[in-house]
Amino acid sequence: MPTPERTSLDEIVGAGRDLLESGGLDGLTMQAVAHRVGVRAPSLYKRVRNRNELIALIAHATVRELGARVDAAAGDPDGDPRPALRRVARAARDFAHERPAGFRLVFTPGAEPRLDTDALEASIAPVLRLASGLAGEEHALDATRTFTAWLTGFVSMELAGAFRLGGDVERAFEFGLARLTSAFADGLRDRGLL
């Protein structure tokens, strides 16, 4: 087994993220993480104080990865920001399908751990920028909150299997996304930009 000095915090967090996805929070134990990285459980405590700290580190890593994907999807929109906002929504949804347990960890209301403000602001900055371009600066935060609430609600229901009335969920997602971005674009129309 590697010595604790050779086991990095990134490796520990990565192993924790993988275990979270395969076994949920119940499967995320210090023993399981230690086994995954090839050390004894007590060795982990040289890098991580306890399981709660590990869960917080996993949540922060999840938010950072999601933020990087959202930022890449947003790009640098030319003119109309609606296509970029749609790309952002699709990228976030794809992420949620790839890491559903991580997505739930971060976006379940009232769930621990609480994320620090800096991590959240960095992850939402591209959406805030696009919302500002669509709805105007005075409504950017409102539009961002509306967009985030709709997206996380839709995806959370989708992951939970809550759409039970039949029909095409993909089409419903695109329908909602088109209507939402169109409504935000009223700010562009009001300013004579559309």
**CB crowding 28-56: b at 16 or more within 10 Å, else e:** bbbebbbeebebeeebbeebbeeeeebbb
Residue 3, pLDDT score: 45
Find, among 52, 67, 28, the residue nearest to 113 by Cα. 52
Domains, the chain: 1-48 (1.10.10), 59-190 (1.10.357.10)
Per residue of the chain (194 residues), give pLDDT as tens. 554 567 899 999 999 999 999 999 999 999 999 999 999 988 888 899 999 999 999 999 999 999 999 999 998 767 788 899 999 999 999 999 999 999 999 988 766 556 767 878 888 899 999 998 888 888 899 999 999 999 999 999 999 999 999 889 999 999 999 999 888 877 555 655 54
Residue 122, pLDDT score: 85
129-140 residue pLDDT tens:
999 888 888 889
